[in-house]
Structure 1
Amino acid sequence: MRVFVAGATGAIGRQLVPRLVAAGHEVHGMTRGEAKRELLFELGATPVVADALDAEQVAEAVGRARPDVIVHQLTAIPASIDTRHMERDFAATNRLRTEGTDHLLSAGQAVGVQRFVAQGHVAAYARVGGAVKGEEDAWDAAPPRAMRPNLEAMRHLEDAVLGASWTEGIVLRYGWFYGPGTSLAPGSEMVDMIRRRRFPQVADGGGVWSFVHVADAADATVAAVEHGERGRYNVVDDDPAAVADWLPALASQLGVKRPMRVPRVVGRLFAGEAGVVMMTELRGASNDKAKRELGWAPAHPTWRGVLATA
């Protein structure tokens, strides 16, 4: 198949493109800047330079490639995120998830793409009920103010992709990435903060996180490209874990002291309400559907012992 990957030079794009090429697909990789053209050649893709927020450029790029499948991996997440101001730090990504999604869908409809696969995230589930959620569980109806634009943008993406009756719309709700090029890669700012004991546990650390190695996420995406059916899929490992579990374990793995524990009121001062919610109330996700319907299983079934080193 001919596959058009938007966001082909990001952390997951760099894993995804070579896998698609190895599977025998003709890959056209879109990036915004000329500087990434050589990288796309090295990954095995035909380079496409276009601004995802320019509808005409996107239409021209997709029209020239005439893909069977579009994969939407566009984000612009900064290396350092202030959870007190997530609406500011995710503003560019939110535009890519709204305007960028609409441009790609419009361009895809014009050439009749058979399948449209888009990047979602598991951090939007309602903070009530069980600790681990499935794809049909409700979204958070009252997120902290700083998180609202993010969830609104993700909802726009999901509604637009799954509502496109002319194609097989698929949303992959990825877990928290770790591995090369991610915020949990060796040497990343987050890992450095944990090393310096500047990433404390807030209150009971009861927020549950679901991780996924970026290579496993890429494998799941290849499966979705090749035989995915319309719907949402949680792409996470087998081991959802509370912050009170994974944060001390990661510190121990890094050979540093156990993170400090602070009360919620202190957590709000340095992380805002959004950061406190992520530490204390977040819900994890089940990968049962992705395993069953995509025929995928993570090569890294647990984050234990490999988080921030793999």
Structure 2
Amino acid sequence: MKIFIAGASGAIGSHLVSQLVARGHEVVGTTRSAAKTGALRALGAEPVVVDALDPDSVADVVAKAEPEVIVHQLTALGGPPDFRHAKRMAAATNRLRTEGTDHLLAAARAVGVRRFVAQSNAMWMERAGAPVADENGRIEPNPPADAAEAVAALRHLEAAVTGISWADGIALRYGGFYGPGTGLSAAPDAVMTEQVRRRKFPIVGGGGGVWSLVHITDAASATVAAIERGRRGIYHVADDDPAPVREWLPVLARAVGAKPPRRVPAWLVRLVAGEGPVDLMTRTPGISSEKIKRELGWTPRYPTWRTGFVEGLK
């Protein structure tokens, strides 16, 4: 198939391009930076530079590509781990999940795309639901005020994509990424790994938030499965071992040669960083990926972070 990947130079994009090309697909991949076109070309994709928030530019590049499938992996996440940059990246990502989604959907409809696959996120599943949620679970209806825009953007993306009638609209709720090209890897510039090594990624409160994690190559292979044979709706994508922060974070610290993480009272983090981070570290439920395994035959290479942290960070 001819596949158009919006956000092909991002954390999951490069892995996705490689896997799709290896399976014989023709890939057109977008980037915001002309400096990244060479890397995309080396992976086997046809690179295009586009501003995803410009509807005319998006319509033009999609019309020229004439893809059968569009994959929406646009975010603005990455960069220095300071509060000012984090706020800016979050705001930009929210626009990409709202305006960017709408622009891509309009362009997709105009050229007759038959499948549209988009990146969602499982970190904001409903807090009052099951400890491990399946796809029947919903996005948290009453998030903290400082997370409301981000959660609303996820809700917009999922509703817009799965609500189309002219193609199979698929939203993938990914767990937390780790592995090469992500902020949690063995690379010297990996932001989250550096925070762990400097003991700036603490266990907040009781550390009871249940995180579902997924190695980046497994996230990409699940996306390939959705591209090739997915059906309209939502699929969860994570490993088989959801676990509270207090359990997986010390294991991660050992894996990257760091001292054990600090423990910080929730009230202090709430005072410094807001309610949203506290909520993520203390109340997040995990997710089950049984649906995508059952329906699409997906099998993760790293079914648990316990081996993934040891074998898959490089």
TM-score scaled by length of structure 2: 0.94
Which residue number corresponds to residue 263 of structure 2?
Answer: 261
Paired residues for 1:160-309 under 5 Å: 160-186=160-186, 187=188, 188-307=190-309, 309=313
Tell me if the contact between 1:206 and 1:281 (Cα under 8 Å) persists in the aligned partners.
yes
Q: Aligned partners of 1:11 and 1:89: how far apart in 2? A: 15
The 10-residue stretch of structure 1 (228-237 or 30-39) with the greater mean CA deviation from structure 2: 30-39
1:137 Cα deviation from its structure 2 partner: 1.0
Percent of aligned pairs with the same amino acid = 56
* Equivalence map 1:23-102=2 (5 Å): 23-81=23-81, 88-102=88-102
- Structure 1 position 32, deviation (Å): 2.1
Q: Which amino acid aligns with 1:110?
A: A
> Over residues 199-235 of structure 1, what are the superposed CA-to-partner deviations in whole Å (9 max), with x where a residue is unaligned?
2211110000000111101101111111100010001
C-alpha separation between the residues in 1 aligned to 2:100 and 2:113? 17
Report 1:5-16 matches (<5 A): 5-16=5-16
Q: Render the CA deviation track for 1:55-77: whole Å, top value 9, x for unaligned.
A: 11111111111110000111111
Distance 2:282 2:141 in 1: 17
Secondary structure of residue in 2 paired with 1:306: helix
Alignment gaps of 5+ in structure 2: none
Q: 1:277 to 1:263 in 2, by over 3 A?
A: same
Are 2:129 and 2:137, in contact at CA under 8 Å, matched by a contact in 1?
no
Separation in 2 of the partners of 1:64 and 1:296?
32
In structure 2, C-alpha distance between the alignment counterparts of 1:271 and 1:156, rounded to whole Å: 25
Decide whether the 8 Å contact of 2:215 with 2:308 is kept in 1. no
Shift in Å at residue 46 of structure 1?
A: 1.2
Instruction: Pick closer, same or farther for the CA change 1:2–1:173 going to 2, 3 Å.
Output: same
Contact 1:122 1:173 in 2 (8 A): yes
Task: Kindly state the Cα deviation for residue 189 of structure 1 after the two structures are TM-superposed.
Answer: 2.4
Q: Distance in 1 between matches of 2:68 and 2:89?
A: 33
Partner AA of 2:36 in structure 1: K
Q: How does 1:113-124 map to 2 (within 5 A)?
A: 113-124=113-124
Quote the offset at 1:81 in angstroms.
4.7
Question: CA offsets per residue over residues 16-37 of structure 1, 9 Å max, x none?
Answer: 0111111111111112222222
Give the secondary-structure state (helix, strand or coil) at the position aligned to 1:169. Answer: strand
Q: Which residue does 2:17 correspond to in 1?
A: 17
The gaps in structure 1 that reach 5 residues or longer are none
Judge conservation of contact 1:207–1:283 (CA < 8 Å) in 2.
yes
Which stretch shows the higher mean deviation, 149-158 or 34-43? 34-43
- Summarize the alignment of residues 79-158 of structure 1 with structure 2, pairs less than 5 Å apart: 79-81=79-81, 88-158=88-158
CA distance in 2, matches of 1:2, 1:109: 15
Structure 2 CA distance for aligned equivalents of residues 11 and 29 of structure 1: 13
Q: 1:216 to 1:61 in 2, by over 3 A?
A: same
What RMSD over aligned residues (CA atoms) do the two structures have, in Å? 1.7
When structure 1 is superposed on structure 2, of 157-166 and 26-35 the one drifting more is 26-35
**Stretch of structure 1 that moved more, 218-227 or 26-35:** 26-35
Q: 1:252 to 1:137 in 2, by over 3 A?
A: same
Letter in structure 2 aligned against 1:73: Q
